[in-house]
Structure 1
Amino acid sequence: MNRPSTSATAVDAVDDNSTRQRILAATSEVLSRSGQAKLSLSDVAQQAGVSRPTLYRWFASKEALLDAFSVYERQMFETGISRATTGLRGTDRLDGALRFIVEYQHSYSGVRAVDIEPEVVIARLGQVIPVMRARLERLLTGPSAPVKAATAIRVAVSHYIVRSDDDDGFLDQLRHAVGIKPSR
C-alpha cells in the first residue's frame, strides 16, 4: 500500500487514515453496484468524495485497492465479532457472535454482488470460509467444535447466497448448528 510521506503530521496521519477508510467503504458501495470486473476507480473516488490523485496516493491500482478491500472486510468482520462478544462468557459469548453474523449479513451491501458476479463471489467464499470457520471454532468447546463451526458457517454462506428476509429463522438455524437452544 502506498502511504503518505513520512513528514506528515499526526493530524495529517489521522486524516489520511480517515481518507483511506472512506475509500475502502466507498469501494464496498461501488462493488455492490457494478462488481469487480466493472469497478471504476473514478467511481470509487467520487463515492468517497476524494480526487483520483488522492485515491492513487493510497492505492496505485485497481488490484491494490481490491487487495486492501479484502483485508478491510476481514478486519471489519473481526472487529465486529470481537465487539459483539466482549464481556460475554460461554454460551452468551457464542450467541453474541451468531447474532453478529446475522446482523452483518443483513446490513452488508455486498450481498448484491452474488447477482452481479456470482463466479467472483464463489471464488472469494473459498477464501473466506476457512477464516470464518476458524474464528467461530475458537468460541466453541468439545470434540465436535470443528463440525459445529463448519456447519454454522455453511448455513451462513447459504443465507449469503440465497438471502432470506427471516433473520430470526437464520439465527435459529445458526444456534441449532452449534447446539444452542433457541431463547424463545
Structure 2
Amino acid sequence: MAAEPAGTTTSVEAILAATRAVIAEQGPGKVTMSAIASAAGVSRPTLYRWFPTKDHVLAALSDYESRLFETRLQALVDAERTPARRLDAALRFLVTYLDGLMGPNPIAADPAFALANLAASLGPQTTTFARLVGDALDRVPAVQAGRLTRDQAADILMRLAISNYLLPHPDQEELVANIRGFAGLPRRSITRAAG
C-alpha cells in the first residue's frame, strides 16, 4: 500500500472494512476489486490508487485488523484504573471482538481462508493482549501461583475467544462470567463499560 497523504486514512479504512464484509459474504476467492469498490463506496480508480491488486488489499487487511484489535483494546484498558478492572474489560472485549470484526459467520463463505486468518492473527494478537493488559494478568490464579506466565495466560484467553467465535456459547454473558471466574475475578462485571 502506498503512503497515505493526510486525510485519506478514512478512505483506506473504509476500503479495508468493506473488504472484510465482502470476504465474509462471498469468500476471498470470489472477491473482485469491483465488489470491494462498490462496498466501500469508492470508485475503482480510487481503489486501484491505494491497492493495485486484490492481493495488496488482502495483505493490508491483516495489518488493518491487527491495528483495530490493538486500538480498541488499548482504549478499553486505558479507561480503567485498576488491574482488576483492566482485566475485566479486556475479557469482555475478547469474547465480542471477532463478531464485530469478522461478522457473524465468515467461516461459511470460505472456511480455509477464515481459519488461516484466525491462525495468523493469534500470535500477534496474543502478544498485543499480554502487553496491553500487562500486570492485570497477574490476577489469574495460575499466574499468581507461578504455573503460567502472563504470556501463557494471554494465549489461553485468546484461544478461548477464538473457540467461542467458532463454536459460540449459547449465553455470551454466562461465558464471560465463566472466563472471569477462571481469571480470578468475580463472576459479575466490575467494569463500568462492561456493565
What range describes the TM-score normalised by the shorter chain of this pair?
A: 0.7 to 0.9
Query: Counterpart of 2:59?
Result: 67
1:18-167 counterparts in 2 under 5 A? 18-88=10-80, 89-138=82-131, 139=133, 140-141=137-138, 142=143, 143=146, 144=148, 145-167=150-172
- How many equivalent residue pairs? 176
1:113-166 superposed Cα distances (whole Å, 9 cap, x missing partner)? 111211112222221111222223232124322332222112111111123342
* More divergent stretch after superposition (75-84 vs 113-122): 113-122
Partners of 2:53 and 2:2 in 1: CA distance: 10
Partners of 2:89 and 2:67 in 1: CA distance: 18
* More divergent stretch after superposition (125-134 vs 57-66): 125-134
SS at match of 2:151: helix
Structure with higher RCO (Cα < 8 A, 6+ apart): 2
- Quote the offset at 1:179 in angstroms: 2.6
The answer to whether the Cα contact below 8 Å between 1:151 and 1:177 also exists between their aligned partners in 2 is no
**Paired-residue identity, %:** 32
Change beyond 3 A, Cα 1:165–1:27: farther
Q: How large is the Cα RMSD of the aligned pairs?
A: 2.0
The answer to whether the Cα contact below 8 Å between 1:2 and 1:60 also exists between their aligned partners in 2 is no
Moved over 6 A (4+): none
- Quote the offset at 1:175 in angstroms: 1.9
Query: Counterpart of 2:2?
Result: 2
Q: Which runs of 5+ in 1 are unaligned?
A: none
Give me the TM-score of the superposition, normalised by structure 1: 0.85
Q: Which runs of 5+ in 2 are unaligned?
A: 190-195
Give me the TM-score of the superposition, normalised by structure 2: 0.81
